[in-house]
């Protein structure tokens, strides 16, 4: 079954997959921010975004309520069902942006070597610098607000560097 990315219905779209550990905090927020920014630019018909986790802890659940709240405060809606990273993702997606070094290593482990160049740490694009998007899962609502800001500016720069 084709579950996302470059599928039969969107072959011409550029596709981006956001990856974290649980797929309830950082990566669903990132995919929603990406879709929001792309829609604001009037480019939503040209791109497809999805998210997933390297872990299987929360498969089938929705996003964390603190993720939903932080995004809603910024006018970004999230509709999401957790899924785990799968081998097909490396065929289906053009860009795979991961949140931290552990996700990076775990993602590469699932991918054939020729797909490795499409896997990048998302903060490579953060204009303010930084390496990882800290995991807010054990943190405060303010940590989720900070996650939003990091992702928002990194995605904005990714879009302008890579996609437009």
Question: Where on the chain is the footprint of ligand 4NP (CB under 6 A)?
Answer: 20-26, 53, 57, 135, 137
Nearer to ligand 4NP by Cβ, of 4 and 22: the residue is: 22
Nearer to ligand 4NP by Cβ, of 25 and 71: the residue is: 25
Q: Are strands 119-121 and 14-20 parallel, antiparallel or unpaired?
A: unpaired
26 an active-site residue?
A: yes
For residue 6, the minimal CB distance to ligand 4NP (Å) is 24
Q: Which residue's Cβ has the minimum distance to ligand 4NP? A: 22
Among the options 50, 100, 126, 135, which is catalytic?
135
State how far the Cα of 22 lies from the Cα of 53, in Å rounded to an integer.
5
- b/e per residue 115-147 (b: at least 16 CB within 10 A): beeebbbbbebbeeeeebbebbbeeeeebbbbb
How many CA atoms, within 13 angstroms, populate the side-chain half-sphere of residue 68?
8
Token code pair at residue 154: 């990194």
For residue 33, the minimal CB distance to ligand 4NP (Å) is 13
Among the options 20, 50, 52, 126, which is catalytic?
20
For residue 117, the minimal CB distance to ligand 4NP (Å) is 23
CB contact at 8 A, 44 and 38: yes
Nearer to ligand 4NP by Cβ, of 24 and 76: the residue is: 24
| Short-list 153, 162, 27, CA closest to 89 | 27
Among the options 25, 26, 66, 89, which is catalytic?
26
Nearer to ligand 4NP by Cβ, of 14 and 71: the residue is: 71
Q: Give the active site residues.
A: 20, 26, 135
């Amino acid at each position: 079954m084709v579950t996302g990315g470059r599928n039969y219905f969107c072959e011409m779209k550029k596709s981006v997959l956001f990856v974290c550990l649980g797929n309830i905090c950082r990566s669903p927020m990132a995919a929603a921010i990406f879709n929001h920014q792309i829609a604001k630019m009037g480019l939503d018909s040209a791109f497809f975004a999805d998210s997933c986790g390297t872990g299987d802890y929360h498969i089938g659940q929705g996003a964390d309520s603190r993720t939903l709240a932080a995004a809603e405060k910024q006018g970004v809606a999230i509709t999401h069902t957790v899924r785990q990273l799968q081998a097909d993702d490396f065929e289906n997606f053009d860009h795979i942006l991961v949140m931290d070094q552990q996700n990076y290593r775990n993602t590469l482990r699932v991918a054939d070597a020729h797909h490795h160049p499409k896997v990048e740490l998302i903060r490579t694009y953060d204009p303010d610098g930084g390496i990882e998007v800290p995991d807010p899962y054990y943190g405060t609502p303010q940590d989720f607000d900070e996650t939003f800001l990091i992702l928002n500016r990194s995605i904005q720069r990714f879009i302008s560097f890579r996609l437009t």
